[in-house]
Amino acid sequence: MAVTEAARTEVVCAEAAAAADTTGGTAAAGRAAQELGLKRGEFELAVHLGIVRTAAEQSGGRPRVRREEIDRLRSESGFPDAVRERVRTVGTAEGARLLGISPVRFTRLARAGCITPVTFYLNRYRAVVWLYLAQEVLDFAARAPQLLAGNSPVWMRARLDAGTDWRARNWRAQRIERLLSRTEDPWRRAAVLAGVLDPVQLAEVVDDPYERAYLARIRPEPVFGLPGSVAAREAMTQLMQADDPDEILWRRINLIMELDGARASRQAPRPGDDHWSVPLPFADPGTESLLDPAPGLLARLGLRRRVTGRRATGNGVPTKTVE
């Protein structure tokens, strides 16, 4: 009797979970991934690339997938292999095999900015391992076959000799472009750009602490939430932050322009407003002088004062990178 009762309880719980995952004509990310035959990482990448369109929750929860979207993808020719092929990623070794070159040459191409990674993971040594879309690797081979053999061009040798590594920067740029393409809301667009600046840089551009809190609240996150491990979250944070002076300046200018449009459309929530739930953030040590409004574009960009304590790493990643 006890066994029967336990089995009945499991069935009821499973049915309740399934109903919770498919409410209001939408499905949770995990349920949608299962129905589309995608692994967790594949589904997350499919959402990021726009292959799977999500619907934002009105309550501010994680994005869900409409039933019509799941049915659309399942009805496509070649499902599910066709969907999986569009999100297939390769590392350095497999990418080199696709191009018929050595892993060393593939790494040089990636470091020089010829091939842009689409995602990454941390290996057991906490080193960043870059992954590339297989289709983009093949497209590069068709677009620039001259770079696959012979001597590297002068511009490429100059970049590599200077020790620059464009992988993190290109990954950031591509990620930002895709996130911006998914929203027209000026505040959410500003939140995407704000995530590229460290707290000191952000405080210089956005002097209102309530605006910074609002930008942090609406900043887009992966469909399954932030990585579970502390090391992965730290790596994600470091990789997202611009670290080259010209990249920082470019992102600051873009953020200022987006903020001008956002402020013209509506004010950020403040204490006393309806649905206010954003706490006032604590100021970072040493940034008190940055919180005063500064008129003029040069002052807003922080070009009239120098910020000390900026990290001096090459690609903004505290962990090492697997070549």
Identify the band that residue 300 occupies on the pLDDT scale cut at 50, 70 and 90. low
Which two structure tokens, joined as six digits, stand for 71? 């049915």
Rg of the chain (C-alpha set): 23
Q: What integer best gives the mean pLDDT of the chain?
A: 81
Count the Cβ atoms, other than its own, within 10 Å of residue 24: 11
- 119 forms bridges with which residues in the sheet? 131
Q: Which two tokens stand for residue 102?
A: 């050595």
- Those residues whose C-beta lies under 8 Å from the C-beta of residue 187, and which sit 6 or more positions away, are 214, 215, 218, 262, 265, 266, 268
Residues 32/52, Cβ–Cβ less than 8 Å = yes
Q: Please give the C-alpha separations between residue 221 and each of 44, 53, 56, 224, 311, in angstroms, as whole numbers.
A: 11, 15, 12, 8, 25
| H helix or E strand, kind and range, residue 215 | helix 209-217
13-62 residue pLDDT tens: 444 344 445 556 899 989 999 999 999 999 999 999 999 998 865 545 67
Angle between helices 186-194 and 209-217 (to 10 degrees): 90
| Strand-pair partners of 122 | 128
According to the model, what pLDDT value does residue 21 have? 52
pTM of the model: 0.77
* DSSP string of 90-148, one letter each residue: E-HHHHHHHHTS-HHHHHHHHHTTSS---EEEE-TT--EEEEEEHHHHHHHHHH-GGGG
φ and ψ at residue 89, rounded to 5 degrees:
-115, 155
Q: Which pLDDT score is estimated for 274? A: 61
**pLDDT for residue 289 is more than 90:** no
Q: For residue 6, what pLDDT is reported?
A: 47
